[in-house]
Amino acid sequence: MKTKKYVCTICGYVHEGELTDDFTCPICGADRSAFVPVEEENAAAAQSEKTDESEKGTLADDELTELTPMEMSIICSNLARGCEKQYMPEQSKSFKLLADFFRSKAGSPVSADIDRIADLIESDLSKGFPEAFSAAKEVNDRGALRSLVWSEKVTKVLSSLILRYKTQGDKLLENTGVYVCSVCGFVFIGDRPPEICPVCKVPAWKFDKIEGRSA
């Protein structure tokens, strides 16, 4: 009998054999929900190519919403980091100033429990990313598509980590480290970050270790 193979939709790792309930990817740390049978992965890729044209579309004016000051601050902060990576210090400084300005206009952050965060992430995966991919494909924006591929994978990892946290609680973070890729945002829980980021392929020194807040 042929051994069944499963592929991780985050990093591409291929696992031979059945997946146990507590299985996690040895490369990116995603749980078993991120794995699909190899033949399904190939079929999904082929179907995606066929449906690209039919999925094109734009949002109607009444579907657009005004961004909050906090959202504008986050966007400008990300643009500042992007300019920094592109060795554009003046533009990076300008976006940082804009980020600080919008942050000063924002109210106190709304607290969200783990279930609320999980719902928001699921909304991004089920609605936000498909709409963004459709818009980027319509104008053939290869840079945006690459960025969306990375960010969708990172969001899937976050979804996986939240599911694990809901099951394990604080034990998930005991006696281990939390690392974030400074380029794509990939989050890894373990003693040390992977040698190569499984999402954007930068080396381990690009990871930042996240320290817990002091009491």
Q: Judge whether 147 lies within some domain.
A: no
Q: Judge whether 158 lies within some domain.
A: no
Q: Judge whether 213 lies within some domain.
A: no
Structure tokens at 74: 């986050």
Number of separate domains in the chain: 2
| Residue where one domain finishes, among candidates 105, 124, 150 | 105
| Residue where one domain finishes, among candidates 9, 25, 51 | 51
Q: Judge whether 191 lies within some domain.
A: no
44-58-127-20 Cα dihedral, nearest 10 degrees: 20
Half-sphere exposure of 6 (CA within 13 A, CB side): 17
CA–CA distance, 92 with 76 (Å, rounded to integer): 9
Residues 47 and 1 in one domain: yes
Residues 12 and 41 in one domain: yes
Please report, as a single letter, which amino acid is at residue 154.
V
Please report, as a single letter, which amino acid is at residue 44.
A
Please report, as a single letter, which amino acid is at residue 34.
A
What CATH number did the domain enclosing 16 receive?
2.20.28.10
Q: Judge whether 28 lies within some domain.
A: yes
Q: Judge whether 203 lies within some domain.
A: no
Number of Cβ atoms within 10 Å of the Cβ of 10: 22
Site of tokens 């299985």: 23
In order along its 215 residues, the chain shows pLDDT tens digits of 567 889 998 888 899 988 888 888 888 888 888 889 987 655 555 445 444 444 444 555 556 678 889 889 989 998 998 888 788 999 999 999 999 999 999 877 667 688 888 998 999 999 999 999 999 999 999 988 988 999 999 999 999 899 889 888 889 888 899 999 988 899 999 999 999 999 999 999 999 998 865 54
Structural domain span for residue 5: 1-51
Structure tokens at 56: 């094109």
